Structure formats: C-alpha cells, structure tokens
Copies of this chain bind each other. A is one copy, B any other.
Amino acid sequence: MYTLKEIQTKVSQLFAAENFNGTPDELYAPIEYTLAQGGKRIRPTMLLAATDLFGGDIEQARYAAIGIETFHNFTLLHDDLMDRSPVRRGKPTVYRRWNENTAILSGDAMHILAWQYLIKTPHHNLHSILQTFGNTCLQIHEGQQYDMNFEQRNDVTISEYMEMIRLKTAVLLAGALKIGALYAGANEADTEAVYNFGIETGLAFQLRDDLLDAYGDTATFGKQTGTDIRDNKKTILLLAALQKGTPQQRLRLNELFATTPQDPTAKIDEVLSIYSQLDIRNDVDQRIAGHHASAMRHLDAIDRPDSAKQPLRELACSLLDRNI
C-alpha cells in the first residue's frame, strides 16, 4: 500500500515521463501546453488510490490515470473557449494563445487521446472500465449543458443545482475511483461505495469552491474573490439566499444579479451583506460538512482495513481543507 504522498509523486512522474508531442505540431502543441500546466491532478490520484486500496497493481492502471486527466483537461480547454476565459492556471487559455479553431480541433484530438489512454492496457474488466468512462464523460457534458441552461433561468432550485454539480463535477471524481476499483477487481458493493464516496466528496468540493469564491483568501485560493457575484453566476450561496430570504431580499438579489456594473465592488458588498444577514456562509458550511460526513460513511463501509483507506480519507480532507 502506498501513502497519499507516494501516489501523488507517482502521478507527477507519470506525466513527466509522458510525451504529448506529435505531428503536425500545430495540432499537438496546444495539447502539450495544456497538460504541462499541471494542476492538482486530483482525478488520476484518486484513480490510482482506488486501485491501491483494493490491492490492485497501480502500474496496470497508469494509462487510465493519464487518460482521465487528459479528458478533464480537454473539457477545461473547450469550456474556456465557450466561457471566453482568458486565463487558466496563470497562463493564456488555448483559444487566446492560439485561436478558436485551434482550441476546437486540438481539444477534439485531446479527447481522442484520452480514449486512447483508456484503451491502451488490455484488462479482463476493460469493457466495464470503458462503459464507466463513457457514461462519466457524457454525464459531464450533460452537466455542462444544464449549467449553460441555468444562465438563462431565474427559477433554478437547489436540488436542480445539486444535480447539475453532481453531473458536471462529482461524477468524474466518482468515475475515476470506480475505474481504479475495476482495475483492482473490487467487488460490486465496494465499487459502488467508493463511487459514492467520490460523488459526495465532489459535491462538497464544488460547494466549497462556491464558498471560496465569495469568502476565500485571495492569496491562498489563488483567484480573485467575488467573481461569481460579479458574473451573475448561480451558486449555492445565491440559491440558498433566494430560498431563505424575505421577499424584499429576494427581489433585491434578483435585481443585483441582473446588472453588470463597470466596478462591481458595491454590488459584491451588497450581495455579501444580504448573505451575511441570512447566515448563508454557515448554511453552506453545514451542507459541505454533511456531504463530507456522507463521503466518510461510504468510505467506512468499504470492506478493507482502515489503514488502507488513509490516502483517500486524506485526499478528501485536503480537498476540503479539513483536518482528518
């Protein structure tokens, strides 16, 4: 069994050793550029940690780990184009550094590469692994479409929002864990439990991301705060405030979220003040704690020694910045 640190080192080495070059260079350079930028590599770490948890050989799962990260980065590449985001991980996004058509075509090639990594290693469970991967990929796109739909709507409920983030964010963590379990030949109950651990961790992770956008320390969070409010994004904070607020507060929030002032400072302050009157930060913290606790229960239910679960427990806690 490996420690979380050892698995993370393994993942870094995998990517350092992998070559994303190819011909023509115009097609492959944006892929290499995207995958060289690192990021936390959460998904491949989860995949290998799950393989290890169930006593599998993480060498067998290594290409799947690369593939799932390649897929994740492909979705970011196309999302950045659709959202017109200029910067990702401190560097110009592909559509800005090159152009829109390059972002489309290189993204598509990257998507194929992801599948090629997934199909690289023959395995007696390969059929289930690929079915899991395909279903996961499609669900992420459904989630992205719901997210786009929600931009046009003013009546999004909290449960619709939770379903959207389940699809857009949580299923990829869960899918990575399930694929890792399938490489190890885990039994059905344990595979389902580790999948559900991923779902709950993913939900908590996304809610925390919403919270940090409003309340995070810019230095440690690495992003500007208040951007979701500035951009009129529907987050759990807004939806909880709309559900809990007085008619006047709801009206005012809807008014504020229909404006895009040049300087958003006053708007952000007023929204945060309404959130504060309604104790929204605490509500969302409670939700995060609930999903985290649920994730831990699924992890506890897995029929493996407690010590073997340490890497996943530690990873989930680090994602939520919680003590173990």
Contacts and interface: CB of A to CB of B under 8 A. Distances in A.
Interface of A: 22-24, 26-27, 78, 81-82, 101, 104-105, 107-109, 111-113, 115-116, 119, 122, 126-127, 130-131, 134-135, 137-138, 141-142, 144-146, 148-149
Nearest to A113: B138
Nearest to A101: B82
B149 A134 contact: no
A298 B144 CA distance: 46
A23 B23 CA distance: 38
Contacts of A130: 115, 119, 130
A109 B134 contact: no
A131 B111 CA distance: 15
Contact of A127 (B108, B122, B145): B122
A141 B26 contact: no
Contacts of A145: 24, 26-27, 105, 109
Contacts of A126: 126-127
Nearest to A109: B141
B27 A142 contact: yes
A161 to B, nearest CB: 14
A146 B24 contact: yes
A124 to B, nearest CB: 11
A105 B148 contact: yes
B127 A105 contact: no
